């Protein structure tokens, strides 16, 4: 399933990590966060979790 507003994850158990992103990627994510009235972090976490879920389903088929 592609990433979309219904995939946005909310808070849970967490830890801090630092990542470096290209500015154009940051700009796109910030726009998406504003459109969905959520945080930059919530969008990034949701995208990563969806990608991992898709990866797991592809590797176990």
Per-residue model confidence (pLDDT) at position 26: 98
Per-residue model confidence (pLDDT) at position 1: 54
Per-residue model confidence (pLDDT) at position 56: 92
Residues of the chain where predicted confidence (pLDDT) is lower than 70: 1-11, 61
What are the residue boundaries of the structural domains of the chain, listed by start? Answer: 19-59
* Three-state SS annotation for 14-45: CCCCCCCCCHHHHHHHHHHHHHCCCCHHHHHH
Per-residue model confidence (pLDDT) at position 14: 78
């Amino acid at each position: 399933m592609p990433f979309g507003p219904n995939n946005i994850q909310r808070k849970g158990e967490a830890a801090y990590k630092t990542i470096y992103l290209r500015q154009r990627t940051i700009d796109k994510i910030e726009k998406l966060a504003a459109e969905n009235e959520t945080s930059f972090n919530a969008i990034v976490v949701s995208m990563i979790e969806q990608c991992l879920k898709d990866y797991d389903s592809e590797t176990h088929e």
